[in-house]
Amino acid sequence: MKIWFDGKLVDSAEAQVSVFDHGVLYGDGVFEGIRFYSGKVFRLQEHIVRLFDSMRYLMIDSPWTFEEVCAATEETVAANGMEDGYIRLVVTRGTGDLGLNPRNCPKASMFIIVQNIALYPAEMYEKGLSMITSSFRRPNPDILCPQVKSLNYLNGISAKIEAVQQGAGEALMLNQHGNVAECTGDNIFIVRNGVVMTPPLTEGALGGITRHAVFDICTELGIPCVEKVMNRFDVLSADECFLTGTAAEVIAATSLDGRTIGTGQAGPITNRILARFRTLVRE
């Protein structure tokens, strides 16, 4: 496996991050999860725009330009000779000392990994996955901004632990008002009376690239798609529910807290969107 590490492709054994890197010590950094299909990176520029927005928010100065990061990503995909796969692009604050002061880290560090990924088994895309409602809330934007895709994922990991302990595939996460924000690593959509709905980003969700793709697909297929503030009642009373994310793609969610959503199977609109998504990524 070849990994792009601070400007050059190296074998995985050579890609070593310092124990003094602030990404390791404090979760001080950002990342992107990106997919490629048939050797072509899906919506690469959208991902790198989000990466640079996150870096700008955290005041991480990139040693590489936007164009150089795009080129490095494509170079890493080509070097590994894979047709389909997943890219993990990570930017850390870089090597510093044991203090919090980011100014003691003179230069950011970046590495790009390419691997296979299968977040859920194939049969789950037909049967759907189960969810529980997490006791952990998404933090307010003034505590941890949900639009920054940072290395600090303890909030989501804590909720994921709850889901695993209860035998569920995912955890639904609410905000401080009890409204639906998103899941641990996916955006959530519901379908009611033929209308696709998802929470506004102001409710605490990340602006997902696959989320944006679903908006485009709905427009193309003539399916109404709106942002709507919702709570657990809306999810439980929905005709269909599905989750979206780079790793998950588009997958039905068919139960919440032991209660069936819709028919308990992936619904017709979910299946239409998933089918179109699978062709879109290879066009």
Work out the widest C-alpha separation in the chain, in whole angstroms.
56
- 224 touches 218 (CB < 8 A): yes
Question: Which residue among the candidates 8, 127, 149, 160 is catalytic per the annotation?
Answer: 149
Residue with tokens 């609109």: 269
Cα dist from 196 to 126, 183, 243, 256, whole Å: 19, 17, 12, 18
- Token pair of 4 as six digits: 């792009």
Cα distance between residue 175 and residue 85, in whole Å: 32
Output the six-digit token pair for 32.
């992107």
The rounded distance, in Å, linking the Cα atoms of 194 and 223 is: 7
Question: What is the model's pLDDT at position 122?
Answer: 81
| pTM, rounded to two decimals | 0.94
How many angstroms separate the first and last alpha carbons of the chain?
27
CA atoms within 13 A on the CB side of 44: 17
Beta bridge mates, 185: none
All domains of the chain in start order, with CATH: 2-115 (3.30.470.10), 124-280 (3.20.10.10)
The DSSP H or E segment spanning 75 is: helix 66-80
How many angstroms separate the CA atoms of 31 and 47, rounded?
A: 10
Alpha-carbon distance of 6 to 167, in angstroms, equals 40
Q: What is the pLDDT along the chain (283 residues), one digit of tens a residue?
A: 999 999 999 999 999 999 999 999 999 999 999 999 999 999 999 999 999 999 999 999 999 999 999 999 999 999 999 999 999 999 999 999 999 999 999 999 999 999 998 778 788 888 899 999 999 999 998 899 999 999 999 999 999 999 999 999 999 999 999 999 999 999 999 999 999 999 999 999 999 999 999 999 999 999 999 999 999 999 999 999 999 999 999 999 999 999 999 999 999 999 999 999 999 999 8
Taking the C-alpha atoms of residue 90 and residue 102, their distance in angstroms, rounded to an integer, is 17
228 has catalytic annotation: no
